Structure 1
Amino acid sequence: MEDGRTGAGGTREERSGAPPSPAAALPGLDDQQLGVLRQIGRAWQEVADTPEAWRRALPVDPDQGTFPPASQVRPTGLFRHVRVAGMGGTGAETLRRAELPPTGPGRLGYRARRLLLGAPLRSTALVRERMRKLLALPVLSADALSSVAYGPEAMLAVLILAGTVGLSYSLPIAATIALMMLTVGLAYRQTIRAYPHGGGAYTVAGDNLGRRPGLVAAAGLMTDYILTVAVSVSAGTAAVTSVVPALAPASVPLGVGVIALLLAGNLRGIRQAGALFALPTYAFVVAMFALIGAGVVDAAGQGFSPTPAPQPPVVESVGVLLVMRAFASGSTAMTGVEAISNAVPVFQPVEWRNARTTLTWMIGILVVLFSGLVVLIHFNGVTPTPHQTVLSQLARGTFGSGWMYVFVQASTAAVLLLAANTAFNDFPRVLSLLARDRYAPKTFLRMGDRLAYSNGIILLSTAAVIIYVVFNGDTTSLIPVYAVGVFLAFTLSQTGMVVHWWRRRTDRWRRSLTVNAAGAVLSAVVLVTAAVTKFTAGAWVAMLTVGLLVLVATRIRRHYKAVDTALRLHPHAIELPRDATPASVRPTVSGAERGQPRKGAHAVRPVFPQPRGEEKEETPEEIHHLTVVPVETMHLASMRALAYAASLQQPVLALHVSPTDAEAQRFRGYWTQWGGHLPLEVVVSPYRVIIAPLVNYIEALHRQRPDLTLTIILPEIVVRHWRHRFLHGHTAARLRRAFRPLAKVVVTTVPFHV
């Protein structure tokens, strides 16, 4: 039986730009392991009672109901998170009680956190909504379009070092950047056609160039997203302080506060409807077109005669190095171009066609805004100053200090902050793709109580705050660090597409290859230029970060590979229970229900004691057991836990919480191959949560028979080195906290050392 998984690399479908499947963390079994599983089942048959006997011994009804199908859940109001009726129980309330700290200060902190982030959702559905092109344009283009607020200024900040002569190069450099925008935009149109399910740099580079280039591309993307937050927030605060100069000394605390608000908002898991996302972006586009239009009218009234720029001091002479540095800095206006190719599945059908159309609109608007602003800067003689952005100078000179100037600055700040929020969606997604392929801790695959990749969001916020504070919230200082990660991902993605077309050689492959090759070459030129000319200015930080991320990812995968090898089913590591017969039932005449006599086997029928809900047992005979073994997948640790539970000779119920119906069916197939020696209950939780349904189910069993002592036996991976502990979950600790308020619920673990 082949389950379609191909290891850490995954199939092409698994490696698509879409978020990982909820079952991505559950490894499958190949033909060899299935053979071992059947061998283990035959060995169990010799020492354990029949499956029918174990099921009759259960003192409870294991069927506790199901969650409603995800297709029956519909979003309401302005939000895409929908509360739905849970499966049997109040597990989320139990979790809330368990999380409550015992001390007064701890309880105060807990309540403050819940007030800020909201209560855990007992059971929620993440409803995927398809977007129309007019809605997808502002949602997915905010990062790219907002970059024109700081891209031209970054270019001028380099040229001004050469005085007036240096500023004269602004128009030809801007024209080159605009040409590169068109080329890279056309290249990503080819990427969308080749990867209609979403093709980010990690996916494309990994598929066509190999795992290591894919890792480098992912590291570049992650660095890009961290710096997107830092740069966007710094540019947004600069727009605010240009209007209110009194806030300039507090720009760093102000930016840190903005990042904290973005963190809190994303941890809540509330994704507002597209209309709320669209407003700031469309307002910014309208403001920029109004500014460019009014500026062109004013220039026409002056006969298109440029206003002389102030005479800045000459720090260095004009040379190839200076021009290339300016080109690299101005090219940061291209950040975010990749976003649409990553998000093809969110479009309405036909997805790839609508995505290509939206990308064309975005590139067209981006080129017009960037070129128009640079031309306007040239005619108005505006130069960068420490206390006011170039965009603010343009708006003030064109509209004065009235409401239109305020509108331009407000829309600029809003779209920049929205661009920062885009990274909070993309960074956790890339991290989850790495976790799916075993290059990042598995904890980044899981969603939190509020249906967000909480761990990835916290990591992004922490890294962005550190970068922002270290660079003192200065956009000009952050730009050199920014360019390396952006164009590293661009270069590897477009190079991967060149290899893709060369291998496939489908219709019009030569034209497609040429377009992607041009995009790869231009991106590589900017990458090399930024790395060389901006190395001492901060580019080394991005290069070092990419290298460290690749090193850490490789080490993480090596550890997971060693764990997978240790957990892999093999004949020499079989553990069996000894004469496993439930002792909580009354034995009758011995015999074997399979037709063959077996020593120690008993035909059994259950004896149900009278319910008693209080903890008054004073002798062993008064304690009645039910052992529940949560089983994630069929590996050695799970088999050891099942053998341990059966050897206790008490009723046993195996429980599998599956995120999808397909995964549930696959696991039942594995269970049948093993022989189904113990009763199994499969709970399908289509809402991408595992702990809450597990708690719900156990609590429902407790309410059904409060007289029983429920013992939850968990297989636990025990690692040798402390640094590997964070790579594995802590389910046992969470369950202990959750069940502490409940009487007669015991959580124990069966260690598996690797």
Structure 2
Amino acid sequence: MRRRGNGGGAGREVGPGTAVTPSAEFPPLDQEELGALRRLGEHWRVPPDGAAPDPARLPLDPTIERSRAEPLPGHFGRLAPIAMFTAAEPGELVATEPANIPGTRAGRALSRCRRALFGPPLTSAAVLYERMRKLVALPVLSSDLLSSVAYGPEAMLAVLVLAGSGALGLSLPLVAVLAVLMVAVGLSYRQTVVAYPHGAGSYVVALDNLGVRPGLAAAAGLMVDYVLTVAVSVAAGVHAVTSALPGLARYTVPFGLLTILVLLAGNLRGVRAAGNLFVWPTYAFLLALLAVLLVGYVRAGARGFAPLPPPPVPATEGLGLLLVLRAFASGAVSMTGIEAVSNAVPAFRPPEWRNARTTLSWMVGMLVVLFIGLTVLIHLSGLVPTPERTLLSQLARATFPTGPWFALVQAATALILLLAANTAFNGFPRLLFFMARAGHAPRRFLHMGDRLAFSNGLVALAVTAGVVFLVFRGRTEALIPLYAVGVFLAFTLSQSGMVVHWHRRRDRGWRRRAAINALGAFLSGLVLVTAAITKFTEGAWAVVVAVPLLVLLALAIHRHYRRLQRSLALHPPPDGRRPGPALTAVPLPGAAEPGAPAEAQELPQQVRHLVVVPVARLNRASLRALAYAASLRQPTLAVHIAPEDPEADRFREQWEAWGDHVRLETIVSPYRTSIGPLAHYLEALHASRPDVLLTVVVPEVVVRGPWQRLLHSRAEHRLRRALRALPGVVVTSLPVHLSD
């Protein structure tokens, strides 16, 4: 029989080597927990009056084997027909189709629309086929990195031009330094991919080598970067569209939000479907830029590569070191997205690390060529940033003054900028997956949706980025200052962690590898400090504040899961000590010696029961609840809440007429409330005997339509909410369906 993982151990620390599979939601028990489970099993026995766990004594066949001649269940046949199960092995059934169609007509229509939009659900085994080959992974994971060259050089030149058009010549030495930074960080992440082939990049590297808080700081920086990647990319794409079509400028915000929704829908279809959907815009943009560079350099060569004089621009700031550092930090935003491959290594086809490393090399090579080529060509063309038109738009018009090529370049640029956010849609959910696996993020982010995508993470990213885009009204210049701090914080911590990693391993060639990572850490740290200082008042303060808050939130989540793990951990009796004799019925609380607290009882013979049935009036629903409680063969108590003494007397007379088969306790509530007095009464019962498990059986009338719920008080739901925080109390709803 196959070995299956178990679902215990909420918040357990899981090493970085765990694979990204749908089973990650159910981590297996470790050896200590298995030992505790075996010891508990040795003490497990059913009380004498209980039903033995013998499959032959079950009132039905759990394998659901029935003749094909028998009709399928009527009302619930459309939810889970018997024919949808097949027997895989003894004790196991396999669902042959996803039976998640809601029972209402509107719900079924919504489910059909969802399937038409996102595609049919995929089986868990299909996760192996949802991986990307290199030709698909390259455009999918590099769309953010390559698209940033459309606004990175402009961001750098927009700072330099503050010192006048004469300062634009400094762009050439700055672009050389930035190219060194790109190569150094790229080589560093190549080593990260090999050392950590299971993904998560900066977070896992920093967590594994520098500690919990540096790891969470790297994760927080990446989370901020991914959100801003979506907001900035969409804002830049919308700006490119409005540069070509100024009449659409007033629709910037709706157009941007619609783009985010399209990206969300495309990624909810799954990794492979999203890759096939977004692959061509990246290649089209790459070809468009190569055409601009080729034609532009041919024309520059015809005049001997003599730069054209830029139009005179008056200086508004003095040229100094601070201005140059601001320009350097602004140009460094072109590197955002370089870590995407290290986060998504498991999304590649085998061998994952080799394909990921090759893809990263191509990405960095194309980034360096495009960034240097565009910056130098802008310098040779004598162009300066203007609020009306982007530099890339000006360069395309200067390169292709006639013909349709300018429009094609603009269309490709707008499309890649709009879809560049897809890189964040790949990285953000995977980062949350690894954080949730370690207990630093809600465990719902471990879940894979119908299409084997991390749906919860995708929705969280889309909503957060949409809010940021809306707050900043889609203005690229307002979002850019927030951009560099988070990502370069992750870069710095990741590369510093890799230095520690190589120093610990000290295998062959470790000094060379550590030196490469140390260089990447130094240069990334330089950009981080520069961006944090020079752009602090322009908006970077928000990221400086957000990162520590996210770290504190992650630590609080981890503390909660650790507390949950301690509460749910198995605590078997010590070796050689048997539990006390099996306990049978207890007449009422206080009639027996107290034992273990109700929530510490893990063996059947430890459990003491008291079944409580709230009875408002004697009708079919309440009598059915009383019959159900009595059939459990446990001590039973009925409780009636009366608004005044005469009504309490009348109810006791009715109870005696029924036969007084169950002990009745009447509570008079002169303020006419029922939930509060009942909850306090149950709390008092529990306080008097914490070792008694109170099972509250509440009859619940099930209505057909949503509008009919307004005709009922739904007191059972309010009672369940009131008792949720009370330990040792179980609330059981007994549905009573309305007859036709």
TM normalised by structure 1 equals: 0.70
Partner of 2:469: 468
* Distance of 1:306 and 1:366 partners within structure 2: 23
In the TM superposition, what whole-angstrom CA distance separates every residue of 1:276-327 from its partner, at most 9, and x where no partner exists? 4331111111111110111111111222221111222211111111001100
In the TM superposition, what whole-angstrom CA distance separates every residue of 1:578-636 from its partner, at most 9, and x where no partner exists? 559xxxxxxxxxxxxxxxxxxx9xxxxxxxxxxxxxx9999899999999xxxxxxxxx
Partner of 2:146: 145
Q: Secondary structure at the match of 1:22?
A: helix
* Distance of 2:357 and 2:271 partners within structure 1: 28
Q: Give the total of aligned pairs.
A: 585
* Distance of 1:354 and 1:267 partners within structure 2: 24
- Residue pair 1:143, 1:336 contacting (<8 A) in 2 also: yes
Task: Report the residue type matching 1:431 in the other structure.
Answer: L
* Distance of 1:576 and 1:539 partners within structure 2: 67
* Distance of 1:560 and 1:272 partners within structure 2: 34
Aligned-pair distance for 1:440? 1.3
- Residue pair 2:237, 2:414 contacting (<8 A) in 1 also: yes
In the TM superposition, what whole-angstrom CA distance separates every residue of 1:95-144 from its partner, at most 9, and x where no partner exists? x225957xxxxx99x68974885688496764333444333322221111
Task: Report the residue type matching 1:238 in the other structure.
Answer: H
- Residue pair 2:20, 2:346 contacting (<8 A) in 1 also: no
Aligned-pair distance for 1:417? 2.3
* Distance of 1:335 and 1:399 partners within structure 2: 29
* Distance of 1:36 and 1:272 partners within structure 2: 43
Partner of 1:13: 17
User: 1:558/1:127 Cα in 2 relative to 1: closer, same or farther (>3 Å)?
Assistant: closer
- Residue pair 1:268, 1:452 contacting (<8 A) in 2 also: yes
Unaligned stretches of 5+ residues in structure 1: 71-84, 102-106, 581-599, 601-614, 628-714, 722-731, 745-754
Where do 1:129-140 residues align within 5 Å? 129=129, 130-140=131-141
Partner of 2:103: 97
- Residue pair 1:37, 1:569 contacting (<8 A) in 2 also: no
- Residue pair 1:245, 1:387 contacting (<8 A) in 2 also: no
User: 1:621/1:373 Cα in 2 relative to 1: closer, same or farther (>3 Å)?
Assistant: closer
* Distance of 1:157 and 1:89 partners within structure 2: 57
- Residue pair 1:485, 1:542 contacting (<8 A) in 2 also: yes
Partner of 1:398: 399
* Distance of 1:536 and 1:39 partners within structure 2: 61
Task: Report the residue type matching 1:409 in the other structure.
Answer: Q
1:127 and 2:127 matched: yes
Task: Report the residue type matching 1:392 in the other structure.
Answer: S
Unaligned stretches of 5+ residues in structure 2: 66-82, 586-604, 606-619, 633-719
Where do 1:539-550 residues align within 5 Å? 539-550=540-551
Aligned-pair distance for 1:452? 3.2
Where do 1:344-743 residues align within 5 Å? 344-400=345-401, 402-571=403-572
Task: Report the residue type matching 2:15 in the other structure.
Answer: T
Partner of 1:322: 323
Aligned-pair distance for 1:496? 0.5
- Residue pair 1:44, 1:576 contacting (<8 A) in 2 also: no
* Distance of 1:507 and 1:50 partners within structure 2: 64
- Residue pair 1:299, 1:305 contacting (<8 A) in 2 also: yes
User: 1:459/1:620 Cα in 2 relative to 1: closer, same or farther (>3 Å)?
Assistant: closer
Task: Report the residue type matching 1:12 in the other structure.
Answer: P
* Distance of 2:169 and 2:207 partners within structure 1: 42
- Residue pair 2:621, 2:736 contacting (<8 A) in 1 also: no
Q: Secondary structure at the match of 1:197?
A: coil
User: 1:69/1:380 Cα in 2 relative to 1: closer, same or farther (>3 Å)?
Assistant: farther
* Distance of 1:304 and 1:111 partners within structure 2: 61
- Residue pair 1:501, 1:509 contacting (<8 A) in 2 also: yes
Partner of 2:202: 201
User: 1:373/1:740 Cα in 2 relative to 1: closer, same or farther (>3 Å)?
Assistant: farther
- Residue pair 2:13, 2:437 contacting (<8 A) in 1 also: no
* Distance of 2:227 and 2:45 partners within structure 1: 52
Partner of 1:241: 242
The 10-residue stretch of structure 1 (180-189 or 349-358) with the greater mean CA deviation from structure 2:
349-358
* Distance of 2:624 and 2:150 partners within structure 1: 76
In the TM superposition, what whole-angstrom CA distance separates every residue of 1:418-437 from its partner, at most 9, and x where no partner exists? 22122122211111211111
* Distance of 2:232 and 2:42 partners within structure 1: 58
- Residue pair 1:20, 1:433 contacting (<8 A) in 2 also: no
Aligned-pair distance for 1:560? 1.6
* Distance of 1:155 and 1:258 partners within structure 2: 27
* Distance of 2:36 and 2:455 partners within structure 1: 39
* Distance of 1:69 and 1:231 partners within structure 2: 52
* Distance of 2:735 and 2:461 partners within structure 1: 33
- Residue pair 1:117, 1:265 contacting (<8 A) in 2 also: no
Task: Report the residue type matching 1:9 in the other structure.
Answer: E
Aligned-pair distance for 1:37? 5.7
Which protein has the larger Cα radius of gyration, Structure 1 or Structure 2? Answer: 2
Task: Report the residue type matching 2:320 in the other structure.
Answer: G
* Distance of 1:623 and 1:138 partners within structure 2: 62
- Residue pair 2:217, 2:547 contacting (<8 A) in 1 also: yes
Partner of 2:95: 87
* Distance of 2:721 and 2:15 partners within structure 1: 29
* Distance of 2:580 and 2:280 partners within structure 1: 62
User: 1:401/1:51 Cα in 2 relative to 1: closer, same or farther (>3 Å)?
Assistant: farther
- Residue pair 2:439, 2:558 contacting (<8 A) in 1 also: yes
* Distance of 2:128 and 2:435 partners within structure 1: 22
User: 1:556/1:127 Cα in 2 relative to 1: closer, same or farther (>3 Å)?
Assistant: closer
Partner of 1:308: 309
User: 1:45/1:498 Cα in 2 relative to 1: closer, same or farther (>3 Å)?
Assistant: same
Aligned-pair distance for 1:349? 3.8
The CA RMSD over aligned residues, in Å, is 4.1
User: 1:29/1:505 Cα in 2 relative to 1: closer, same or farther (>3 Å)?
Assistant: closer
User: 1:58/1:99 Cα in 2 relative to 1: closer, same or farther (>3 Å)?
Assistant: same
User: 1:399/1:545 Cα in 2 relative to 1: closer, same or farther (>3 Å)?
Assistant: same
In the TM superposition, what whole-angstrom CA distance separates every residue of 1:530-577 from its partner, at most 9, and x where no partner exists? 001000101111121111111111111111212222222225899998
* Distance of 1:260 and 1:6 partners within structure 2: 33
Q: Secondary structure at the match of 1:444?
A: helix
TM normalised by structure 2 equals: 0.71
* Distance of 1:347 and 1:461 partners within structure 2: 24
Task: Report the residue type matching 2:462 in the other structure.
Answer: S
* Distance of 1:718 and 1:428 partners within structure 2: 35
- Residue pair 1:146, 1:419 contacting (<8 A) in 2 also: yes
User: 1:26/1:287 Cα in 2 relative to 1: closer, same or farther (>3 Å)?
Assistant: same
Partner of 2:636: none
The 10-residue stretch of structure 1 (222-231 or 445-454) with the greater mean CA deviation from structure 2:
445-454
Partner of 1:669: none
Aligned-pair distance for 1:237? 0.8
Moved over 6 A (4+): 1-7, 64-70, 572-577, 615-627, 715-719, 739-744
* Distance of 1:118 and 1:12 partners within structure 2: 31
Among the aligned pairs, what percent are the same residue?
50
* Distance of 1:378 and 1:577 partners within structure 2: 88
